[in-house]
Amino acid sequence: MMTSVPETIGAAASGTWKLGDLPVHRIGLGAMRLTQPGAAFTQGPSSDRGRSIAVLRRAIELGVNHIDTAAFYFSPLRSANELINSALAPYADDLVITTKVGPGRDPSGAWTWATPEQLRGQVEENLRQLGRDHLDVVNLRIARSHRSASVAEHFGALAELREAGLIRHLGMSHTTPDQLAEAQGIAPVVCVQNRYGIGSSPEDQALVRACGEQGIAFVPFFAIAGTGAEEGASGAESEEVRTVSRAHGATPAQVRLAWTLHQGPHVLAIPGTGNPDHLAENVAAGALGLTSDELALLAP
């Protein structure tokens, strides 16, 4: 029997996990797509400011209390952090805002990568834009070309800022098991943000399991977009995903989100959108239960 997923269901239906000592609902919101209606990190048109602010406020109404952002999420006319500040400050006590440092973009949009000494400036930039005196969670984002490099100096610099009270908790993004272990030897790691979704490799699956065994939140990005990455979902879906979506009266995006949440209670979701309808659908995916047969059908 086909069952539809109500779009007014709140984020609490997804369950709860903790980022360190900060409880969050397992469905959150990624801020990357708030700044541009199309592909991210281009010189294309900027988003409608009022619409983006409305999405943020609607997310809070739906119970979302985990927002993922970064100072380098900006378009020619929009800054994700400024939108969050304008829409939500003064912030609710239970709202957890996660950001990431390492990458940066100059005013032209060209990418740069911070040295350990420059990380404090990036942290302070996030503090200023968000209007906060500390950051809840800061992830060290690893460059694609540095995934075999030591993270000790960069993570050590963030650990010092944590000791100074500018950061409450630390995480890793786009990391490897070896880098994660190295970071944990320096300071506690509360979350790992890596690319992950239906079709991910056995190595990715192993890292998800390892995080669960250690009580570390695993927060996948591009769980909906898949290979589309910053460009967004292509619209081309496997027959397996379509079969499950038809069975539940759900969208393929909802099935993809539900699948990630079924990979363990420590797995969170931060789907990004600037569309209020997509926001409601994404949050509702937290209530979508998949059977063991369906999970087996969707398995990589």
- pLDDT tens for residues 209-266? 999 999 999 999 978 854 444 444 456 778 999 999 999 999 999 999 999 999 999 9
Overall average pLDDT of the 123-135 stretch? 98
Domain that holds residue 72: 17-298
Mean pLDDT of the chain: 92
β-pairing verdict for 96-101 and 29-30? unpaired
β-pairing verdict for 29-30 and 167-173? unpaired
Per-residue pLDDT tens digits for 70-119: 999 999 999 999 999 999 999 999 999 999 999 999 888 889 999 999 99
**pLDDT band, residue 127 (cuts 50/70/90):** very high
What's the structural domain count of the chain?
A: 1
Task: Note whether residue 9 is domain-resident.
Answer: no
Residue 7 has what pLDDT?
A: 53
Query: Residue 182: beta bridge partners?
Result: none
Read off the tokens for 267.
């797995």
Per-residue pLDDT tens digits for 224-235: 854 444 444 456
Could you count the other beta carbons within 10 Å of the beta carbon of residue 207? 21
Task: Note whether residue 1 is domain-resident.
Answer: no
Report how far residue 238's alpha carbon sits from residue 280's, in angstroms, rounded to the nearest whole number.
23
**pLDDT band, residue 42 (cuts 50/70/90):** confident
Q: 70, 85, 80: which is closest to 140 by C-alpha?
A: 70
Q: Please give, one letter per residue, the 3-state secondary structure of the chain.
A: CCCCCCCCCCHHHHCEEEECCEEEECECEECHHHCCCCCCCCCCCCCCHHHHHHHHHHHHHCCCCEEECCCCCECCCCEHHHHHHHHHCCCCCCCEEEEEECEEECCCCCEEECCHHHHHHHHHHHHHHHCCCCEEEEEEECCHHHCCCCCHHHHHHHHHHHHCCCEEEEEEECCCHHHHHHHHCCCCEEEEECECCCCCCHHHHHHHHHHHHCCCEECCECCCCHHHHHHCCCCCCCHHHHHHHHHHCCCHHHHHHHHHHCCCCCECECCECCCHHHHHHHHHHHHCCCCHHHHHHHCC
Main-chain phi, psi angles of 104, to 5 degrees: -150, 165
Overall average pLDDT of the 54-61 stretch? 98
β-pairing verdict for 16-19 and 22-25? antiparallel
Residue 228 has what pLDDT?
A: 44
Residue 229 has what pLDDT?
A: 45
* Residue 286: pLDDT over 70: yes
Q: 83, 85, 78: which is closest to 45 by C-alpha?
A: 78
Overall average pLDDT of the 20-45 stretch? 91
Task: Note whether residue 83 is domain-resident.
Answer: yes
Overall average pLDDT of the 12-26 stretch? 98
CATH of the domain at 194: 3.20.20.100
Task: Note whether residue 10 is domain-resident.
Answer: no
Task: Note whether residue 4 is domain-resident.
Answer: no
Task: Note whether residue 12 is domain-resident.
Answer: no
Report how far residue 239's alpha carbon sits from residue 233's, in angstroms, rounded to the nearest whole number.
16
Residues classed as catalytic = 73
Model-level pTM? 0.92
Read off the tokens for 201.
């490799």
Report how far residue 185's alpha carbon sits from residue 182's, in angstroms, rounded to the nearest whole number.
5
